[in-house]
Structure 1
Amino acid sequence: MTALKVIPWGDVIEATPGIVKSARKIFTRSQQAEEAATAAATSPGDLSARVAQLESSVAQLAEQQKASAELIETLAEQNARIVEAVDALRVRTRLLIVVSSLLSIACVGLVAWRLV
């Protein structure tokens, strides 16, 4: 539970709408490209019109690929921040264990010294 407190949820929550918006754009563009490719394949128009349509589809796919790469980069950055937070938590936990152990030993030693 403490690990969840260390994660910068404010940053994660702040970035979430942008990520969702990007994912929706990518999904919409992929559907449009698929529909355009299907229309170009089924329409018996002239060859130059079909080539232009296919070029447009390729351009859309390149744009989608770029958007996907940006989305993946954003997710990777968030993942890196979470890993850093968990690593910091791990270090703090070890430090707390050491300090708690030393305090426990000191308390036991103090009680034993008072009993003597």
Structure 2
Amino acid sequence: MALGWFSLLKTVPWAEVIATAPVVADGAKKLWKTVSKKPVTAPAPASVVLATEGDILSQLQARIATLEATTAELHAQMQDSTELIQALATQNTELVQRAEANRVRLRWVSLGLVLLALVLAYTLKTGV
């Protein structure tokens, strides 16, 4: 099972992932700034305006009030979603940076092990 994950991770183009992580984080920040600047409009109370078609007018006002409430609710949900996207993009950037740091460390450890193996082989061969 671990071999499958290892082969999967080897196929990931880490250079591209690392290169695009800041772009994703910047895009999430721009989205958050755009959404957070828009004010949430509270639904206006329906005013009582009675004309000759008073029933129709009051029904339309009730529908408008409902639509305004729904719009405000959707806007709040969109802001929450944008906050979540920004948090995920930040976490993704940190994860990619840590993965890159681990990859570099693994290369150094591998190099150290190869050098140690060469020194050990030389020691065994010469009998020193």
TM-score under structure 1 normalisation?
0.57
Matched, 1:60 2:60: no
Equivalence for 1:49: 55
Gaps of 5+ in 2: 6-51, 123-128
Matched, 1:92 2:98: yes
What is the Cα deviation at residue 80 of structure 1? 1.5
The whole-number CA distance in structure 1 between the counterparts of 2:118 and 2:59 is 87
What is the Cα deviation at residue 115 of structure 1? 2.3
What is the Cα deviation at residue 102 of structure 1? 0.2
SS of the residue corresponding to residue 83 of structure 1 reads: helix
Q: What is the correspondence of 1:5-24 to structure 2 with a 5 Å cutoff? A: none
TM-score under structure 2 normalisation?
0.52
Q: Which has the larger radius of gyration?
A: 2
Runs of 4+ that moved beyond 2 A: none
Query: Aligned residue pairs: how many?
Result: 72
Q: Deviations over 1:16-68 (max 9, x none)?
A: xxxxxxxxxxxxxxxxxxxxxxxxxxxxxx60121111011111101110100
Q: Deviations over 1:55-94 (max 9, x none)?
A: 1111110111010010111111112211211211111110
Give the structure with the higher percent helix.
Answer: 1
Equivalence for 1:43: none
What is the percent sequence identity of the aligned residues? 15
The whole-number CA distance in structure 1 between the counterparts of 2:104 and 2:117 is 20
What is the Cα deviation at residue 114 of structure 1? 2.5
The whole-number CA distance in structure 2 between the counterparts of 1:58 and 1:50 is 12
Equivalence for 2:121: 115
